[in-house]
Structure 1
């Protein structure tokens, strides 16, 4: 359906693609992977015609419809979420607009002399509208919005009043309702809760078009894709299978390439040693010349490209008391809505409690009560002895001083630390070399999240409270964080929609329900096995 044929592309002085080729066929669901800045967004822009390759061709099947979801959703205001979604439904929305105009024309006294021709056209357009499933469009749009977590009230309310994250969901719903021949989805899993993410997986599983997407959620990728295209060093490499298979295959390819490189280097060293030993001897001149020519003709094996591996080791945190936080008889409401009534909860040392619950169940509110950023209407919240808390809030990135650089931000927070230890800390979180001099103003969402993590973990607390810590983080940084937190000896209370993160780190589950907190010993994987559901809003 789409073929990239020997694409070469520069962004300014930087070479993004060099004679790169790949194809997307009908029915293929492809994950596009590669390090930040490799060119994933550039590739999407070229396929959609917003940009052109410097050399080579992008060939798209005649008549193929393409739907593109990106993080830049633009302005939305003045109509309902459901109307906004229906407007993006492709040909049927254009037919609906004409049908509406014809209805207005039939009621216009000034056009009575043309009524016969209007009625004739209305019949034709109405038949076409019915053929395209237009009369089911409203219910289909609501079904998609419901799957993405919208209440009926939100569907019918002004889309302009929604937050940026909810507007992203509206933009995604437009593409899903359209069901084009090809979907291009740039990070569709961002801003979705667990229930919506699982619904989207099921929707895409039933979609029979071609799909090309990026995602930082490895569980989501594994459930959806059947092929990977990797962008690295300007080239495109295809791997059949899911993300897990791609990782294994890539590691195996690297191992084989390293072995080939090592063998060739050993052979070259022997030849060079012979040449050096005998180049001054006339009796060996012919042999030396022969070996020099042989060396010149050899195709050199390149060593495998080494991705920068992030790693962070926790300094040991001070030990807390056995009871870390205790909530007794806590009530909390917002206006008429009761979030908690007579809530009791105890979190003990070294527990790693993940909080699950549908939208509005009070996950973030519970974290705010524990951290003291919100006060209970009644009851008590008590931290235990020697508890030193670190809190990663969803708005934490907005609190960074944009006039300061990465290094200055770390130096302001830890004035007694040496420059070397702060640079090592920055490097652990992906800010190497000159990147420590980047202003916070120009950092991406992922870079800001990494900086906030670095600030929180340098002088480690013994009680970590984390609200969606993996939002904006790429797969490599998530792996680093999981590996670091797996070694952490303190206590954790966290909310996340990333199932890999939940499975790897939790040893207790707190499920928020209308009739209180259901508690499960064992981690998220045990919760799924015991309940038969991956999230509270879903039932097997």
Structure 2
């Protein structure tokens, strides 16, 4: 079923064409990733589809009855409203029911029959919005995205950007719109929450259009990729890996086409010269026109190739190092860190060698960035010892990059920090995505991604022995991430990095320190092995049958993020999310099975006649028993969830 049709959408901002005759169709069941470079117009297209902005040319046709839901990249408190856990439509429907119930209870109506009819319509609307199980689904979504109900009891003014985004996302997905429009939904999510969202969207009954730079997320969620480049939209079937293969095939075909054109031009030039030497002027001029056409075609093909491959070209090679690549630069011996009563980690030991790429992975709040700061010497109050090689030079790029003079131009900032000529500086900046007049922008008007690129460009000219990177891919689009990955893989210095980008970690890391809880931090060869270990760790906690007298103290030692003890049923947040995810998946499965079996039984019963065989009645009875078993299991799971809710209070 077609949900939406966008036809010939064009949009111009300040004389720049952002969208040029863009068309797309979204059908029920589509899970589409919208990718492209930063500033390509992805968010603009999403806003036009949702009706927030209007196209200069073109039209959006949404099928009758189709409901869309939109999650912006940045959410304000105004977006969430007075009741952040419930949508405006649901609040209004609930208020209407309460008003009508009060009228019926006090018999203040003028026409009882009309009032009852209105009440029936109001309850039907509330049910259609999912109101009766909304609280249950909202609690599950919040837990899956890493939020407990207790996290939201604080004043909304104190909520972080990540908390606001996750509440907005949870509220949106539980309303179950026919078409979900999500702009960078994985921002602020840790790996557990991302995996929960991946599972949810993979089983979502409606359609989804997602802007994302997270390639692993796209791989596990989407069945179609839309690439927005040079104001045009191209569609590729499959997930991100399929898209990469198709793009590679297109580039190879384009490369062969350019090569063949160049050969044909040389051949035609030879024929033209032959015509000229034989004084066949009419044939000579005809051949000249052929050569001109071939040159024009070649120019277009090369322009297309340049446009498709205009990614950043980082140059990260530091000075040549002649020393032993196994030389130890940093050695940590039984280090530990706590802030007040909150223990982040303890007894952690590891070494960093001269060319090692070491990454830290773990849930939000486990201490990854704090460990980075500790190694840099910015945290002095810790347990254990850190030994650093003599004369080792460090370079650091955090999640927020500062500049001494925000009024400087991009060119002046880079020029002042290198010994290059003006031409060399412009060439260097071009490799970091600053072309033409971009080099004369002042730093204070740069986007987050541009600031990160400029900072990294300048940092690498200092040629540090160790690069410390805190979420380096946060502001980079996919093409830029891939070039950065290639450059870091070839970099012959050491790297210590924190990242949630699973694709990036797998490409660059050759060792991984993975956080399970403050007492369990492991050393892994790759990210997948860490995640397997993490899941097994959580499941091992799940399977322990702890005596009620001692379970509080035992469970407290396994908490990734310590929290106030709430009695014998206190659980690790990751464990609670795991349990809730399992429960909700089984409940959804049972709902489908029950609905299917009930329909089968109804159809079979309608077809019973006096000629129906005993075997058919036996089959009918067996299915009835199976249906009863499913319903019993369904009610039990619902009851467990209600008990879990009581334990949280």
Return closer, same or farther for 1:269/1:162 CA change in 2, 3 Å cut-off: same
1:154 to 151, 156, 159: 151
Q: Secondary structure at the match of 2:23?
A: strand
Q: Secondary structure at the match of 1:84?
A: coil
1:265 to partner: Cα distance = 4.8
- Corresponding residue of 1:99: 97
Residue 496 in structure 1 maps to residue 494 in structure 2? no
Q: Deviations over 1:386-445 (max 9, x none)?
A: 3222222223x2556422222233344x26454344334322221233222211211111
Q: Note the 1:334-413 alignment, pairs <5 A.
A: 334-341=339-346, 343-349=347-353, 350-395=355-400, 397-398=401-402, 401-412=405-416
Contact 2:103 2:109 in 1 (8 A): no
1:429 to 427, 432, 435: 432
Contact 2:418 2:461 in 1 (8 A): no
- Corresponding residue of 2:602: none
- Corresponding residue of 2:527: 524
Bigger radius of gyration among the two: 2
Residue 85 in structure 1 maps to residue 85 in structure 2? yes
Q: Secondary structure at the match of 2:305?
A: coil
Q: Deviations over 1:434-487 (max 9, x none)?
A: 222211211111111212222322222222222211111111221122112112
Task: Report the Cα distance in structure 2 between the residues aligned to 1:33 and 1:78, rounded to whole angstroms.
Answer: 27
Q: Which moved more, 1:494-503 or 1:160-169?
A: 160-169
| TM-score, scaled to structure 2 | 0.73
1:240 to partner: Cα distance = 1.0
Task: Report the Cα distance in structure 1 between the residues aligned to 2:444 and 2:466, rounded to whole angstroms.
Answer: 30
Residue 22 in structure 1 maps to residue 46 in structure 2? no
Task: Report the Cα distance in structure 1 between the residues aligned to 2:440 and 2:179, rounded to whole angstroms.
Answer: 41
Residue 192 in structure 1 maps to residue 197 in structure 2? no
Task: Report the Cα distance in structure 2 between the residues aligned to 1:383 and 1:271, rounded to whole angstroms.
Answer: 66
1:165 to partner: Cα distance = 2.8
Contact 1:145 1:155 in 2 (8 A): no
Q: Secondary structure at the match of 1:58?
A: strand
1:205 to 196, 202, 207: 202
1:496 to partner: Cα distance = 0.8
Return closer, same or farther for 1:115/1:483 CA change in 2, 3 Å cut-off: same
Return closer, same or farther for 1:19/1:438 CA change in 2, 3 Å cut-off: same
Q: Note the 1:282-361 alignment, pairs <5 A.
A: 284=280, 287=283, 300=297, 302-303=300-301, 304-306=304-306, 307-309=309-311, 310-316=313-319, 322-328=327-333, 330-341=335-346, 343-349=347-353, 350-361=355-366
Return closer, same or farther for 1:533/1:188 CA change in 2, 3 Å cut-off: farther
Residue 513 in structure 1 maps to residue 516 in structure 2? yes
Task: Report the Cα distance in structure 2 between the residues aligned to 1:131 and 1:70, rounded to whole angstroms.
Answer: 25
Q: Deviations over 1:178-227 (max 9, x none)?
A: 22111111221222222211111111101121111121111111111111
Task: Report the Cα distance in structure 2 between the residues aligned to 1:347 and 1:297, rounded to whole angstroms.
Answer: 62
Q: Secondary structure at the match of 1:134?
A: coil
Task: Report the Cα distance in structure 1 between the residues aligned to 2:384 and 2:375, rounded to whole angstroms.
Answer: 12
Contact 1:106 1:115 in 2 (8 A): no
Residue 451 in structure 1 maps to residue 466 in structure 2? no
Q: Secondary structure at the match of 1:85?
A: coil
Q: Deviations over 1:232-288 (max 9, x none)?
A: 333322111111221221221232233234434544554455456546977x45645
Residue 70 in structure 1 maps to residue 89 in structure 2? no
Task: Report the Cα distance in structure 2 between the residues aligned to 1:346 and 1:177, rounded to whole angstroms.
Answer: 44
Contact 1:323 1:346 in 2 (8 A): no
Return closer, same or farther for 1:371/1:526 CA change in 2, 3 Å cut-off: same
Return closer, same or farther for 1:459/1:167 CA change in 2, 3 Å cut-off: same
Task: Report the Cα distance in structure 2 between the residues aligned to 1:120 and 1:87, rounded to whole angstroms.
Answer: 25
Contact 2:254 2:305 in 1 (8 A): no
1:363 to partner: Cα distance = 1.6
1:103 to partner: Cα distance = 6.3
1:293 to partner: Cα distance = 7.7
Contact 2:226 2:236 in 1 (8 A): yes
1:92 to partner: Cα distance = 3.4
| TM-score, scaled to structure 1 | 0.86
Q: Note the 1:462-501 alignment, pairs <5 A.
A: 462-501=465-504
Return closer, same or farther for 1:470/1:106 CA change in 2, 3 Å cut-off: farther
Structure 2: where are the runs of 5+ without partners?
Answer: 539-559, 561-573, 583-649
Task: Report the Cα distance in structure 2 between the residues aligned to 1:229 and 1:15, rounded to whole angstroms.
Answer: 18
- How many pairs align? 530
Task: Report the Cα distance in structure 2 between the residues aligned to 1:416 and 1:313, rounded to whole angstroms.
Answer: 16
Return closer, same or farther for 1:291/1:358 CA change in 2, 3 Å cut-off: closer
Q: Secondary structure at the match of 1:305?
A: helix
Task: Report the Cα distance in structure 2 between the residues aligned to 1:119 and 1:58, rounded to whole angstroms.
Answer: 39
- Corresponding residue of 2:62: 60
Return closer, same or farther for 1:271/1:338 CA change in 2, 3 Å cut-off: closer
Q: Secondary structure at the match of 1:452?
A: helix
Task: Report the Cα distance in structure 1 between the residues aligned to 2:459 and 2:537, rounded to whole angstroms.
Answer: 30
Return closer, same or farther for 1:201/1:87 CA change in 2, 3 Å cut-off: same
Task: Report the Cα distance in structure 1 between the residues aligned to 2:457 and 2:118, rounded to whole angstroms.
Answer: 65
- Corresponding residue of 2:239: 242
Structure 1: where are the runs of 5+ without partners?
Answer: none
Q: Secondary structure at the match of 1:409?
A: helix
- Corresponding residue of 1:38: 40
Contact 1:330 1:376 in 2 (8 A): no
Q: Note the 1:251-270 alignment, pairs <5 A.
A: 251-268=248-265, 270=267
Task: Report the Cα distance in structure 1 between the residues aligned to 2:146 and 2:4, rounded to whole angstroms.
Answer: 32
Return closer, same or farther for 1:204/1:388 CA change in 2, 3 Å cut-off: same
Q: Secondary structure at the match of 1:86?
A: coil
